[in-house]
Amino acid sequence: MSASTCAAAPLPARRVAVNTPAALASGAILLLGAGLLGQVVSPRQAVLYLLGAALGLVLYHAAFGFTSAWRVFIADRRGAGLRAQMVMLAVAVLLFFPVLAAGSLFGQPVQGLVAPVGVSVLVGAFIFGIGMQMGGGCASGTLYTVGGGSVRMLLTLAAFVAGSALGAAHLHWWSALPHLPPISLVQLWGPVPAIAVNLAVFAGIAWLTVVLERRRHGRLVEPDAAPRQGLPRLLRGPWPLVAGAVALALLNFATLALAGRPWGITSAFALWGSKAAALIGFDPASWPFWSSPAQRAALEGSVLNDVTSVMDFGIIFGALLASALAGRFAPKWGVPLRSALAAVFGGLLLGYGARLAHGCNIGAYFSGIASGSLHGWAWMVAAFFGNVLGTRIRPVFGLEVERLPRQTGC
């Protein structure tokens, strides 16, 4: 008898009601927050806040995790998450490269996130990769799971912020180590050749995941059937991974149009951590990281004036709304000691690594590659190897490494 004939019939999906109080609270926070930002900062800042909320909702409904996608490929050769990332990047470069080559969008100057490639980026991305698996999330994953009610990820976020401040304090030392100048493939090759090369690499990575997944499992592993369809699925999830990938690329492009640069996350963590450091007696204003006029103004001003901070707040509350609509907002306060230690240790690595690498899985990997920056590709390779090590460390802290059982006959 084959494995398919002896498998148990799936149980009917349990109907889960909307968490109405959480949905109303998150909706009110989003509307009132947008109104406040429109009054005290600008209407554009209010729209960016709501754009962050849309990103949080997409991340939650599509369960679009960079950390879990890399882990299940490393441990079990399941590549659906990586293939979705390649779709996301492909849509992004098709949108971004012509606009970045032109230098403006709808009459507004735009520029990509292009950074040097050097020791700092490679070390930072590698330890960020370890932190992804220890902390249980990346930058975007940490924010949307906090919004979804994960108490453990609050520990990761707090340590992430602390590590970011420490990285900001040390960045001048790391930046002095050997490095190449910032290299934009769009400027180096032109938009059309750069698009062609990037799309070929994305296709090659996707093809490799298919080959390795079929070799391990004999087939491409199908996702579980969605419990909802049509409009209920759109509003309450779960969304297909590819739908989330396309939506994230489109929303990143909207960020470029509104903010003049692509989506980022962790520069806000360095700002929050540095402000907290000032409150307890440190002098972050003396750190070279905050020496430029724009950086000094950000450090001394309100976080509501900071685009990245406002979008990060939006991601949290957008994910809160999504989890409430899905009926899954139910915080659990107990966190096992080993898991809590891993969350703190991982968060510190995430924050420190993100600063050294000039960004995280969003600012360096997603937006870096979408910007044509060579450092985005260097980040991806170094972070992948960090994830390999982090995946091997997880069981020491009692953290799961998901593997499907091998199919056998009855």
pLDDT for the residue 66: 93
3-state class of 406 per DSSP?
Answer: coil
User: What's the count of helices (H) and strands (E) in the chain, helices before strands?
Assistant: 18, 2
Instruction: Find residue 179's DSSP bridge partners.
Output: 118
How far is Cα of residue 239 from the mean position of the Cα atoms in its chain?
A: 17
In 3-state terms, what secondary structure has residue 206? Answer: helix
Q: Of the candidates 103, 115, 91, which has an alpha carbon nearest to the alpha carbon of residue 365?
A: 115
Q: What is the DSSP letter of 363?
A: I
For the stretch 99-139, pLDDT in tens is 999 999 988 899 999 999 999 999 999 999 999 999 998 98
Amino acid at 276: A
Q: What proportion of the chain, given as a percentage, has pLDDT over 70?
A: 95
The residue written with tokens 């909207």 in the block is: 254
Question: What local confidence, expressed as pLDDT, does residue 14 receive?
Answer: 54
Task: Give residue-wise pLDDT tens across range 255-269.
Answer: 999 999 999 999 999
Predicted pLDDT at 228: 87
How does 121-132 read in b/e, with b if 16+ C-beta sit within 10 Å? bbbbbbbbbbbb
Whether residue 360 has pLDDT greater than 90: yes
- Domain range list for the chain: 19-219+231-397
pLDDT band for position 410 (cuts 50, 70, 90) = very low
Mean local confidence (pLDDT), 304-314: 97
Dist CA 167 CA 352 (whole Å): 4
> Cβ atoms within 10 A of the Cβ of 170, count?
17
pLDDT at residue number 2: 37
Write out pLDDT tens, residues 373-386. Answer: 999 999 999 999 99
Distance (Å, whole) CA 352 – CA 237: 34
Determine the residue type at 317.
Answer: F
What is the per-residue DSSP string for 134-177? HHT--HHHHHHHHHTT-HHHHHHHHHHHHHHHHHHHHHHHHHTS
Phi, psi values for residue 358, rounded to 5°:
60, 35
Helix (H, G, I), strand (E, B) or coil at 29: helix
For 156-182, how does the pLDDT look when each residue is reduced to its tens digit (9 = 90+)? 999 999 999 999 999 999 999 999 999
